[in-house]
Amino acid sequence: MRAFIFPGQGSQAVGMGLALSQASAVAREVFQEVDDALGQNLFRLMTEGPADELQLTENAQPAIMANAIATLRVLLKEGGFSLPDKADYVAGHSLGEYSALCAAGAIDLSTTARLLKLRGQAMQAAVPVGEGAMAVFLGLDFAGARAVAEEAAQGEVCQAANDNSNRQVVVSGHKAAIDRAILIAKEKGAKRALPLPVSAPFHCSLMQPAADAMADALAKAAIQSPLVAVYANVIAAPVADPSEIVRLLVEQVTGTVRWRESVAAMADAGVEQFVEFGGKAVGPMVKDITDKARAISIVKMADIEAFAATL
Q: What is the pLDDT of residues 255-265, one digit of tens each?
A: 999 999 999 99
Q: What is the mean pLDDT of residues 189-204?
A: 92
| 3-state SS class at 215 | helix
Q: Is the pLDDT of residue 171 over 90?
A: yes
CB 60 within 8 A of CB 9: yes
| 3-state SS class at 287 | helix
Whole-prediction pTM value?
Answer: 0.95
Residue 263's nearest CA partner among 228, 233, 299 is 233
Q: Which of 94, 99, 165, 262 is catalytic?
A: 94
Amino acid, res. 247: R
**pLDDT number for residue 40:** 96
Q: What is the mean pLDDT of residues 144-162?
A: 97
- Place 129 in a pLDDT band, splitting at 50, 70 and 90: confident
Q: What is the mean pLDDT of residues 209-231?
A: 97
Residue 3's nearest CA partner among 65, 93, 95 is 93
User: Which segments of the chain belong to CATH 3.40.366.10?
Assistant: 2-126+206-308
Q: What is the pLDDT of residues 42-71, one digit of tens each?
A: 999 999 999 999 989 999 999 999 999 999
- Is 174 designated active site? no
**pLDDT number for residue 199:** 80
User: Which segments of the chain belong to CATH 3.30.70.250?
Assistant: 132-198
- Is 93 designated active site? no
pLDDT, mean over the chain? 96
As a whole number of Å, the end-to-end CA separation of the chain is 12
CATH code given to domain 2-126+206-308: 3.40.366.10
Q: What is the mean pLDDT of residues 141-146?
A: 96
- Place 89 in a pLDDT band, splitting at 50, 70 and 90: very high
Q: What is the mean pLDDT of residues 21-27?
A: 96
Instruction: Indicate the fold that domain 132-198 takes in CATH.
Output: Alpha-Beta Plaits (3.30.70)
Q: Give me the DSSP letters along 67-93.
A: HHHHHHHHHHHHHT--HHHH-SEEEES
The share of the chain scoring above pLDDT 90, in percent, equals 94
**pLDDT number for residue 198:** 84
Q: What is the pLDDT of residues 93-121, one digit of tens each?
A: 999 999 999 999 999 999 999 999 999 99
Q: Which of 11, 99, 174, 203 is catalytic?
A: 203
